[in-house]
Amino acid sequence: MNDLLPGELGGEMAPVETWQHVERTTRELFSRFGYGEIRTPTLEDTALFVRSVGEETDIVGKEMYTFDDKAGRSLSLRPEGTAPAARAYIEHAVSNQEPLTRWYYIGPMFRYERMKTGRYRQFFQIGAEAYGSKEPAQDVEVMDMVVQLLEALGLQDISLNINSLGDEACRPAYQQKLVEHLTAHRAELCEDCQRRLERNPLRVLDCKNEKCQAIARAAPDILQFLCEPCKAHFDEVKRKLDALGVRYVINPQMVRGLDYYTRTTFEFIAAHPALGTASTVGGGGRYDKLVKSLGGPDVPAVGFGLGLDRLTLLLKEGGQQYGAPPDVFIAVADEGSADEAFALASRLRREGLKVEFDTRGGSLRSQMKRADKTRARFTLVLGQAERESGKAQLKPMAGGEPIPVALGEVAQAVRAAAAPR
């Protein structure tokens, strides 16, 4: 678990300004798609995740932070965002109020998992859920939303992998063939996968053990077992992705790590050395039976989650800095000018400027060093001469001629200097 600090203080983590940039971009973009923000509690009833994510998943079996509260109730820190959103959708009877619901969320999740680059035990996730549409167009819309977010952030070399897991009509036939294949290689499977083989064989395809991955690659192709409705759905997903010009790779081995998926699943995978082996930046899929399985109405749904830690790490590697520098740094030339300089800083902040002011005072030289460090666009030195004349100079820190300015018109002068010519 990590602290997020401003500027260059964050160490291996991207500075908080980078996180804020991603969050702002997400909120602005997702609102264009008609998605509203939802905020759910960090704690939920443990049973919610057991019923939705799946008892045999690594998340529930190994990674959740679970404890009993003072009333003896089993609670868990949320390991993912879809189940809490579905619970809120049911609890507030949202389906009775609108036929199509689109939500997004940004917040911390918790899993006790092995540490990797960009993977932490408290991690932050951007996610979105769309309830009420069973159409392939809804699958494609959420994928397009991620594609546009990555483009808006300037992130490249991230590929979209897609697959279909079928549904309750066609998956059993595939699962039978998969069990036959895995059983023939049972002795070569890791201990966890030998257990998964008995209780949830699809999870073997999600194992990160190299031997298990080799066996999984030789397994039957799930796409060959799709029933006609599932095949038609997947074909339409591909057709609409093509129509939008979204590039994708068909990956029959991709099943995702959660039990609630049906039909479409997808992942966004980055080809960047900064992430090491943890190259998946996000993914999702369709989960048409989840809401009903949790006691709600029979409402189809599709969604995704993106790792905010990994996105910000990729942006940090790109070397770009975020967060606007101060508009002006006010320096004090003499002790008698400190109060007026302090008051000027306060007034300019009220007028909408971002103002830096060193409350410690100190020599003018030390204040100017501080101004350099803040990357302020202008400095304004206030001393006795400026107080008596009511005029000062805005010095451009990037070079150029000082700008004479009346002390009562500093904000207007700063904005005028920033306006395009």
The residue assigned the tokens 């300089």 is 341
Residue % of the chain over a pLDDT of 70: 95
Please report how many Cα atoms fall inside a 13 Å half-sphere around the Cα of residue 137, on the Cβ side: 3
Instruction: Give dist(CA 233, CA 241) in Å, integer.
Output: 12
Give the pLDDT confidence score for residue 98 in this predicted structure: 93
CB 53 within 8 A of CB 80: yes
- Upper half-sphere CA count for residue 279 (Cβ side, 13 Å): 13
Residue 13 has pLDDT above 70, yes or no: yes
Answer yes or no: CATH 3.40.50.800 is held by domain 328-418: yes
Beta pairing, strands 43-45 & 74-77:
antiparallel
Indicate the residue type of 155: L
pLDDT for residue 201: 84
Closest CA to 60 of 254, 196, 211, 216: 196
The DSSP call for residue 329 is: E
pLDDT for 138-164, tens place per residue? Answer: 999 999 999 999 999 999 889 999 999
Q: What is the pLDDT of residue 210?
A: 86
User: Strand 280-286's sheet: what is its strand order?
Assistant: 36-37, 101-110, 122-131, 301-307, 280-286, 264-270, 158-164, 249-250
Spatial strand order in the sheet of 66-68 = 43-45, 74-77, 66-68
Tell me the residue type at 393. Q
**Pairing of β 378-382 and β 355-357:** unpaired
Neighbours of 367 (CB within 10 A): 21
In the chain, where does the domain assigned CATH 3.30.930.10 lie?
16-170+226-317
Quickly count: other Cβ atoms within 10 Å of residue 397's Cβ.
19
> Which of 6, 23, 85 is CA-nearest to residue 296?
85
Helix (H, G, I), strand (E, B) or coil at 4: coil
More confident residue, 206 or 398: 398
pLDDT of residue 263: 93
CATH superfamily, domain 16-170+226-317, is Bira Bifunctional Protein; Domain 2 (3.30.930.10)
| Assessment of whether the complete model's pTM goes beyond 0.85 | yes
**Cα–Cα distance between 211 and 190 in angstroms, integer?**
8
With a cut of 60, say whether residue 421 has pLDDT above it: no
User: What pLDDT digit, counting tens, does each position of 235-279 carry?
Assistant: 999 999 999 999 999 998 887 656 678 999 999 999 876 676 558
* Domain ranges in the chain with CATH number 3.40.50.800: 328-418
- Confidence tier at 10 by pLDDT (50, 70, 90): low
| Backbone conformation region of residue 256, classed left if phi is above 0, alpha if psi is from -120 to 50, else beta | left
- The secondary structure of residue 45, as a DSSP letter, is E
